[in-house]
A and B are shown apart, each in its own frame.
Chain A
Amino acid sequence: MRRTAGKRARAIALGTAGVLLLALAWELYKSFGPLAGWGVGGVLLLPRTDDISMPHLGAMLARTAEPLTSAADSQPVWLIVLLGCVSSLGTAFLGLLIGAVVGIGLALVMLRFRVAEAAVLPWLVLSQTVPLIALAPLVVTWGGQLQFGSFSWQRWMSVAVIASYLAFFPVAIGALRGFQSPEVAHTELMHSYAVGWWKTLFYLRLPASVPYLLPAMRLGAASAIIGTVVAEVSTGTEGGIGRLIIEFAQSGSSDPAKAYSPIAGAVLMGLAAAGIVSIMGLALSRYRRNEAQS
C-alpha cells in the first residue's frame, strides 16, 4: 500500500515538474530567442518571440481572469471557457458511452463467433483510418434526415456520434483482449460446472476483462474528447470548447493571450476525463488484482 502511495506521489511530482519545465522553456525562449524567428529560405523553423506570437504566460493567466469584451455584462474568459468545457465534456461523455456500448458489443460478437473476429477486426482497423474531417459532414447530413415527431436531430448529436466513432475502437480491442484473457484452467472450471456462455461471461470473462477495459476506456475517453473538439470545429457546433478555440484564435493580433485559454481548457478536459476513469478504476480495484501489464 505504502509503495503505491509513494509511486503516486512520485508520478505527481514528475508530472508537475514536466509542466513547470515546459513553462520555463517557453519563457526562456521568449526572452532569448530571435525576435523575428529563424528560418531557412523563407520557411520559418523557429517562431517569432514577439508578444503576438508568444504572449507571456502571465499575460495568458491575466487575460483569463478578465471579461471577454468591454461590454458591461460580459462574462470573464475563464467562465466562458469553463462553460464550453462542461458542454464539450458532456458531449464527449455521451460519445464515450455510445462508443463503449458499441465497442463492448462488437467484442462480444467477436468473442462469440470466431468467424466474426476474422471478418470484423480488419474492418474495425480500417474504420479508424477514415479521416474525421471527411466523416463529420456526412454524419451531419445523415442526422439531419432523422426527424420523427417532436424529435429532430441536433448538431451536438452529430458531434457525439463522431466522438463515439473514435472512442469505440480502443474499447472494442481492449474488451476483446480482456474477454479472451482467462486461462484455460478457469474456462475448463466453468465447463466442468456445466454453465453456458452467458454465465461464463458474467462470472469469468467480464470480471477478468476489467484490467484490460480500464486502459481501453482511458484511451477511449481521450479519443472521445479529441473527436468532440475536432467535430465541433468541423461541424460548426456552438457552445463547445472547439468553437471557442477557433473564435478566440481569430481575434489573433488584437488579443493574442486569449487564444490560449480554451486550449488549456481542452487539456484540463482531457485530464478530467482520465481522472474520472481512474476513479472508476478505484471502484473496481477488486478486479484488478494481478493487473495485466500493458
Chain B
Amino acid sequence: MTDSSQHAVEIVGVTKTFAGTGSKRAKSQGDGTVVALDDVSLTVSPGEFVSLIGPSGCGKSTLLRLIGDLDEPTAGTVSVFGKTARQARIDQDYGIAFQSAGLLPWRSVAANIELPLALHRFGARERRDRVAELLSLVGLSDFGDKYPEQLSGGMQQRVAIARSLAEKPRLLLMDEPFGALDEMTRERMQSELVRICAETGAAVVFVTHSIPEAVFLSDRVVVMSPRPGRIREIVPVALGDDRGELLREDSRFFAGVTAVREALHGAPAASAVRGVESR
C-alpha cells in the first residue's frame, strides 16, 4: 500500500478553468475563461469531516464535482482512496447529496433510498433490510411508502442523505445539502448528520456558506477565496465527538466561529487566534 492510499481524498495542484465562450457566467479574464480553481491542494483523512466555505463563485462546488468525477481537472490530480476519481466513482466509493434533494418523484421514499442498490443489483432481501435500516437512521421509518412530494423539504433532504449512505460509502460528498432549509430544521439536520457520521465512520467533504454550520460539523474548515478559486486557510476546529446541542453555546464553538470568520474576511487578527494553521 502506498502512502496516498491512506487518504480518503488527495488533491494535488488542481486547477480548473472553464472556457467562457457561450457561457452566461461571470467572466474573470479578458478572453472569457473562468479560473474556477487555481493550484488547489487538500487531503482528507478517512473518517474526517472537512467543510469547504467561501463566498459564492470561489469554486467549492467545482472542487466537490472534481472529487466525484462529475467534472475533470484541467491540471493536477484528484485521488480518492488511492485511486483515480473515475475509478472511485466506478467502484462506488462515495455517496453524494446536493442542495436539491434530487429524489425521483415517481419512486416512493423507500424506493428512492433503494435506487443505488437496485441499480447495482443487490439482492431483494438485502435491499429491504438496508432500506429499513436507513429509514430508521434518518428517522423516517413511517414514511417509506410516501412519495417525495408528500414530504417537507427537510424530510426530502433526509431521504437524499439516506440514499447517499445506501451502499455504506467511506466518503460522502455534500454540496449545501441544508441550504434550502429553515434554521431550526437545519440545526436538527446538522445534529443528525454528526450522529450519522459517527455511526458510519465515513469521511465527509461538505460545502456550505454558513460559518456556524461549518464549525459545528467539521474537524477542519477549508476557507476559500474567489477569482481565482484558492484555499486561503485551513482552520482546525475539531470540537470533539460529543457534539450535542449544548455545544452551540460553548465558548470553543464561538472561538471556532470567530476564527473561521476572520479567515474568511482576511482579518489581520486571524494569525493571532489560537489553533489556526495557515497555508
Contact B116 A193 (CB under 8 A): yes
Contacts known (A191-B70, A203-B115); A289 close to B106, Cβ less than 8 A:
yes
Is the Cβ of A186 less than 8 Å from the Cβ of B89? Answer: no
Interface pair A189/B96, CB less than 8 Å apart: yes
Residues of A within 8 A of B69 (CB): 192
| Known interface pairs A194-B89, A290-B149; A185-B100 also in contact (CB < 8 Å) | yes
- Min C-beta distance of B156 to chain A, whole Å: 13
In the bound assembly, the distance between CA atoms of A169 and B119 in angstroms comes to 32
Q: Which residue of A lies closest to B86 (CB)?
A: A194
Task: Please give the distance in Å from A183's CB to the nearest CB on chain B.
Answer: 8
Please report whether the interface of chain B is mostly helix, strand, loop or mixed according to DSSP. Answer: loop
Q: Which of A265-294 contact B (CB under 8 A)?
A: 286-287, 289-290
For the residues of A in contact with B, the DSSP-based class is helix
Asked whether B70 lies within 8 Å of A192 as measured between CB atoms, the reply is: yes
The CA-CA distance from A203 to B111 in the complex, in Å, is 11
Q: Which residues from 42 to 90 on chain B have a C-beta closer than 8 Å to any C-beta of chain A? A: 68-70, 89-90
B151 at the interface (CB under 8 A from A): no
**A208–B104 CA distance with the chains assembled, in angstroms:** 9
Q: Nearest chain-A residue to B173 (Cβ)?
A: A192
Q: Are B119 and A189 neighbours in the complex by a CB distance under 8 Å?
A: no
- The 8 A CB mask of A25-64 against B (1 = contact, 0 = none) is 0000000000000000000000000000000000000000
The CA of A252 and the CA of B102, in the complex, are separated in Å by: 63
B147 contacts the other chain (Cβ, under 8 Å)?
yes
In the bound complex, residues from chain B placing their C-beta under 8 Å from that of A286 are 106
Chain A interface, number of residues (Cβ within 8 angstroms)? 20
A287, B106: Cβ atoms closer than 8 Å: yes
Decide if A195 is an interface residue (CB 8 Å cutoff). yes
B94 neighbours in A (Cβ, 8 Å):
192
Bound CA–CA A195/B70 (angstroms): 13
Residue of A nearest to B88 (CB): A194
CB distance B102 to A194 under 8 Å?
no
| Residue A73, interface by CB 8 Å | no
Q: Are A207 and B104 in contact (CB under 8 A)?
A: yes
CB distance from B168 to the nearest CB of A (A): 15
Which chain B residues lie closer than 8 Å to A210 at the CB level?
106
Who on chain B is nearest to A286 by CB?
A: B106
Closest to B167 in A: A193
Shortest Cβ gap from A215 to chain B (Å):
17
From 153 to 204 in chain A, residues with beta carbon under 8 angstroms from any chain B beta carbon are 183, 185-186, 188-189, 191-195, 199, 203-204
Query: For residue B118, which residues in chain A have a CB less than 8 angstroms away from its CB?
Result: 203
With both beta carbons as reference points, the residue of chain B lying nearest to A284 in the complex is identified as B106
CB within 8 Å of A: which residues of B? 68-70, 89-90, 92, 94, 96, 98, 100, 102, 104-106, 115-116, 118-120, 147, 149
Closest 4 A-B residue pairs measured CB to CB? A185-B102, A289-B105, A287-B106, A194-B90
A-B contact pairs, 14 of them (CB 8 A): A183-B102, A185-B98, A192-B69, A192-B89, A194-B89, A195-B119, A199-B119, A203-B104, A203-B115, A203-B119, A207-B106, A208-B106, A287-B106, A289-B106
Chain A residues within 8 Å of B, Cβ to Cβ: 183, 185-186, 188-189, 191-195, 199, 203-204, 207-208, 210, 286-287, 289-290
